[in-house]
Chain A
Amino acid sequence: MEIYIKKRDGTREPFNADRINRSIERACKGLSDPISMVTQIATETRLTLYDGITTEEMDQATINASVQNIKEDIEYDRVATRLLLKTVYRRVVGEFENKEETLEKMHRDGFIRYVTQGVAEGLLDTRMAEKYNLERMADCLDIERDELFEYAGLSSLLNRYAVKDKEQQPRETPQYFFMRIAMGLAYNEQDPNAWAKKFYDKMSRLEYVAGGSTNIHAGTPRPALSNCFLLEIHDDIEHIAKSVADVIKLSKASGGIGASITKLRAAGSPLSSNNTTSSGPTPFAKIIDTAIRAVQRGGKKKGALCFYMENWHYDFPEFLDWKHNAGDDYLRMRTANTAVFLSDEFMRRVANGSDWYMFDPKETPDLNELYGDRFVKRYTEYALMAESGKLRIFKKVPAREQFRQILVSLQTTSHPWLTWKDAVNLRALNNNTGTIHMSNLCTEICLPQDKDHIAVCNLASINLATHVHNKEINWSKLESSVRFALRQLDNLIDINVLPVKEAEAGDKENRAIGLGVMGFTDTLEKLGIAYDSDFAADFADRIFEFISYMAIDESANLAQERGSYSHFAGSGWSRGKVPIDTLARLERDRGIPLTVMKESRHKGLNWDVLRQKVTKGMRNATLMAVAPNANIGLVAGTTPGIDPRFAQVFSRNKISGKYLDINHNLVLDLKNMGLWEKVRDEIIEAQGDIENISDIPEHIKKIYKTSFTTSPFAFIEVAARAQKWVDQALSRNMYLETRDIDETMKIYQTAWEKGVKTTYYLHMKPRHTAEQSTVHVNKAEKMGKKGFAAAFSRKVENHPTAFGGISKLQPSLLVVSNTDEEEVPLPDEAEPAHVPEEVEEVVSPVRMSHTSSPAPFQRVHIADTDHVAPELSVKESSQKKQDVGQRVGESEMREPSPVAEVAVAKRPVITVEEVLAMSATAGPEDPQDQFICDSCQ
């Protein structure tokens, strides 16, 4: 079939293989084996073409062909990235006609055009043109930094964050994107050009990356730059209605929301307005669950929110069911997430086997505001009141039983996430304005809010992996990254425009920021450290202490330059406290020591000097929060947050696409050892777990574990050590293979004992996944079954054959067509269409001796005399001969089947050689078949 390409202007031209090949060739420049890569990509591209394919689809086809080869060799990632970049350049800077030397200039000039036109069209803020010398900014752009991207990261960046035109195509190249953010956060600097350049250099080298909302909205006329919002729904209908509206507006501004519903009175609680009763929190939560579905955050992803409830709420058992996949839809939250805010009192009662009481918040309104020993006192009083009949309603269960229910729900629905109220509040330096009632959507934020303040946090993350050089952390570079990122975040707050006035108030008065870290595991791997080792925990301790120190110092500097945040007076900072100092308070209140190692692992940071400094002023109420970075981690091509590698190879299901994630560090190590090609299929077959691959040396296996083979206690340890220094919290994703509830309880109890403030999503290892497609699969082999191959067995040994031991070379089953004894009649359409001459054609050497037989329908099956199973009697055997003969005869008279026009494939009779060869051929092609993947049974 001749293939024509439909061009952008609608005209058609014949497909030109040469042109495509040349363009792939350019993308393969400088790689280790460009010629075979070009051939591979070109051949596979060719497979997917069709007549009338458009030019864009053609580009996409070559990209897809490269992408699907990444699992063979990560160099294909480079090719795919370059091919994708090419399409972006062509669209954004214009047809560069493959003259590479002009591209850089066109890219530079295109930026000035992009900003001026963008401002004119209302896509960009007027300050983008007014505040800057665009020529100077354009000179700062470094197109070569585009080479830092991996395909999935670049694709996500373009899909999710880039400013788009009306056709939803990017208006920005990646470097324009970074420059837009840098400029969009430096308007108010004395020298905007100089600071924008500094921010740009950091971000474009992927040394830190701004949070999602900032990436989407910076530099645009609607700079809603915050990522996280925390609000509380009060127990009155006016406020519920307002909260629904606030949630919609904040979602529209692309923020993730934490919403506490602990204050809502229980179902059945009397209403004061009339003699009816309340329907409880669930139906109101359902309104919000539905509302966030309606809003598309940043155009594409629907709203995201997490409900928080304290577990002493009377309706907590119902809350636990919110995420179940079965049941009344009106009682289930399909979109929103849930988290439980647990007190130390509860954890103690779990430990000592006491009962747990649940109350109607209408009757116990102060509990939600209390924490630490004051909570304990009041809670105990309420429990006594309940027992003495002084409360209208209450429920009582063994605390341990409720803890178990929480974890069963967590295991089966991945909700609710466990967060700890007392660790959050007793360690806070910023709750001088009120109790912290919840964390946020990703459980890394700990901010107080009230009716007049929706808490707001602004995020960016340091990419630790770009601070490693020659197995060493570049500390001075890390310091400048922290300081610039902090300044950039502080700048953000004055530019930020939020759609709800309570959020504006929360943002401006507290100036809360959350600087995080990503690439933790990537860095460990580069340094050769195993995640579940003491070294990793000490490393986390050291890194977080350093970042925390520099962040605090920078905020104190900014306070001297720009003034303190409004509520500084009375904060922990104002009393000279730094996060590490608050451990003692938590311990004191609990009355038992935290089981985390409390010393410093970093020499040479003088905290006393800093304690002095912070009393003079802090620019921001909070400084650090380690977000999950699922998206910006992908953009930066590193492991997100403090997460382990999910697996050495896995797929990411993202809004921007489904990407195969393959651990480049591991691949490079294996390539250096000359092992990669040998084991790559095995790694996929084992779903990214290298533990049982015998060719890979042990020291490599120790470093490259998957999230399910790493001890869950290591996740806890790393979080606990980092948490010492972090004033807010960390999104601690959990991964478990065990489904043993007692063990799971122990893991989460340990987290509490170590002072971890919050845990996040729990990923359970799937016990069963769909059949794999691209690797060798043979279920029978794994069962140890031979199936029909047994019918062709060559065993001659002592069993008598149906034909009494006739020589092996002699034909055994000559089937004669004219046997017409009665037999079970069969509907003829079931007959396989055996055409005699086909039989002749494909006669194998073994069967040669029979071709001279005169019978027209002679069917020669297998020459072996002894293939018939010993149990088969002679009588049955001859009956069978008749069957087959009869059917072959019938097939002659058959009408052609309805699909006869489909060329009937030649169907040679199966030979013993083929069957015997089966086990042999499975080997070389698929070296992994000795490995038994036991994912299901």
Chain B
Amino acid sequence: MLIGKAQPEDMVLHPIRYPWAYDLYNQAVRNTWFPHEIALKEDLDDWAKMTEDERHAVKFLMAFFNPAELIVNRSIALGMYPYIKAPEAHLYLAKVMWEEANHCVAFEYVLETFPLDRAKVFSTHLETPSMKAKEEYVFKYLRRMTETILDIETVEGKKDFVRNLVATNIVMEGIWFYSGFMVALSFRQRNQLRNFGSMITWVLRDESLHLKFGINLVHTALEENPELLTPEFANEIRDIIIEGVERETAYNKDLFPRGILGLNADYVNQYVQYVTDRRLEELGLPKHYNAKNPAKWMSTATDVFELVNFFEAQNTSYEVDGHASSSTKAKPVEVAKEAE
């Protein structure tokens, strides 16, 4: 069982029951990057030329992302880690938490480098109702994991686990973040904030794995706890996701009170709906919006391999692999037989 109260037997990594979690851990380690690898000088030159509306969008994004990365960490630490038994999942979550911290510091690094009223950016998430509403949404599901006594061995406890997982991982990381990434990368597409764009590419690369983990976790939880497989719980989960989208919709109106070249609130919200349909399908739920992807240019931003002229831009596809050697070849991960 992946979720439940950890027992003494759960303290050893081997045999690995959930190889996907261990694979994710290894890939995440290879994806390690640091904010200082990104030089922001050219972006500062762009910043000077940007319009007020464009700058507002960037500031607003960072005002959301900076605390959001920490909120995700809280949710992992308090709402996921304690209720998961498998050590391989713990390994990965430990790396995820470092990554979220790293993302937070990366946004911090941008905030420190750009000429901004930092105090104002930092307080935006407390003062903007639409942004507050997003944070409250996550806290709402997290609160049940922390403030009331949760018995993870009960059906209701497991449901709460899944609810929180969906709110944090699917909605926050898998929908809200993706909409933010699209907006951030759109600047790169217009040849602005190239290095910030490289950083976002790295964050997105990490987040893609987080999401993969979350989706694996949901599916495993459902498979191992068939009592969760009811239409009403399915409906409830779907509704949790839709509620998240509604909060995102309101937020995007504050992100783009007017529009900037290539983007406006409706456009972003259509993208949010498109991504949401994808998330619903990934959970085994029907599409809700049937929205088309308005941002076809994202194929250039994320869908294909990127060829970087190394003296022009940061290569974001590099991986660190300190232990590369002939001995790493085909070292099979031990896989426990499905204990059924």
B-binding residues in A (CB < 8 A)? 44, 47-53, 57, 60-61, 64, 67-69, 71-72, 159, 256, 293, 300-302, 304, 325-326, 329, 334-335, 337, 404, 408, 411-414, 441, 630-631, 646-647, 649-661, 684-685, 687-688, 739-742, 761, 763-775, 777-781, 783, 785-792, 813, 815, 824, 826-827, 829-830, 832-834, 859, 861-862, 867-872, 876, 879-880, 883-884, 897-899, 901-902, 904-905, 907, 909-910, 914-915, 917-918, 921-922, 936-937
Contacts and interface: CB of A to CB of B under 8 A. Distances in A.
A523 B325 CA distance: 37
B235 interface: yes
B140 interface: yes
B284 A872 contact: no
Interface in B217-263: 218-219, 222-223, 226-227, 229-240, 242-243, 245-247, 249-250, 256, 258-263
Given A408-B325, A773-B302, A787-B222, A937 B23 contact: yes
A301 B262 CA distance: 26
Contact of B312 (A301, A660, A770, A871): A301
Given A68-B296, A767-B27, A791-B234, A658 B188 contact: yes
B139 to A, nearest CB: 10
Q: Most chain-A CB neighbours within 10 Å: which of B31, B222, B247? A: B222
A659 B190 CA distance: 10
Contacts of B15: none
B315 A684 contact: no
B302 A325 contact: no
Contacts of A907: 238-239, 242
Contacts of A293: 39, 41
A194 to B, nearest CB: 37
Contacts of A937: 20, 23
A61 B227 contact: no
Interface residues of B, number: 124
Contact of A764 (B155, B222, B286, B319): B319
B243 A832 contact: yes
A868 B297 contact: no
B282 A770 contact: no
B315 to A, nearest CB: 7
A658 B284 contact: no
B140 A830 contact: yes
Contact of A651 (B227, B259, B300): B300
B97 interface: no
Contacts of B178: 771
Nearest to B209: A768
B204 interface: yes
User: Interface residues of B: mostly helix, strand, loop or mixed?
Assistant: helix
A302 B247 CA distance: 42
B226 A872 contact: yes
Nearest to A57: B261
Interface stretch (B2-10, B80-88, B118-126, B130-138): B130-138
Contact of B284 (A48, A631, A788, A898): A788
A688 B305 contact: yes
Contacts of B155: 876, 879-880
B311 A687 contact: no
A60 B192 CA distance: 14
A687 B305 CA distance: 6
B308 A653 contact: yes
A779 B215 contact: yes
Contacts, number: 363
Given A788-B222, A880-B232, A774 B296 contact: yes
Contacts of B310: 337, 414, 761
B103 to A, nearest CB: 14
6 closest residue pairs by CB, A with B: A50-B259, A787-B284, A832-B239, A789-B284, A773-B298, A869-B226
Contacts of B258: 50-52
A442 to B, nearest CB: 9
A897 B42 CA distance: 43
Contacts of A326: 32, 34, 320
Given A658-B191, A791-B230, A651 B306 contact: yes
22 contacts: A68-B295, A412-B322, A658-B189, A739-B321, A742-B326, A764-B318, A765-B305, A766-B317, A770-B207, A777-B278, A780-B215, A785-B219, A788-B234, A788-B237, A813-B232, A833-B243, A876-B227, A907-B238, A909-B235, A910-B286, A915-B284, A936-B209
Contacts of B148: 827
Contacts of B266: 47
Nearest to A45: B262
Given A652-B306, A827-B143, A936-B212, A791 B233 contact: yes
Given A337-B311, A867-B230, A921-B287, 6 more contacts: A51-B258, A414-B318, A688-B305, A761-B310, A826-B156, A871-B227
B261 A790 contact: no
Contacts of A414: 310, 315, 318
A653 B307 contact: yes
Given A293-B41, A922-B281, A766 B305 contact: yes
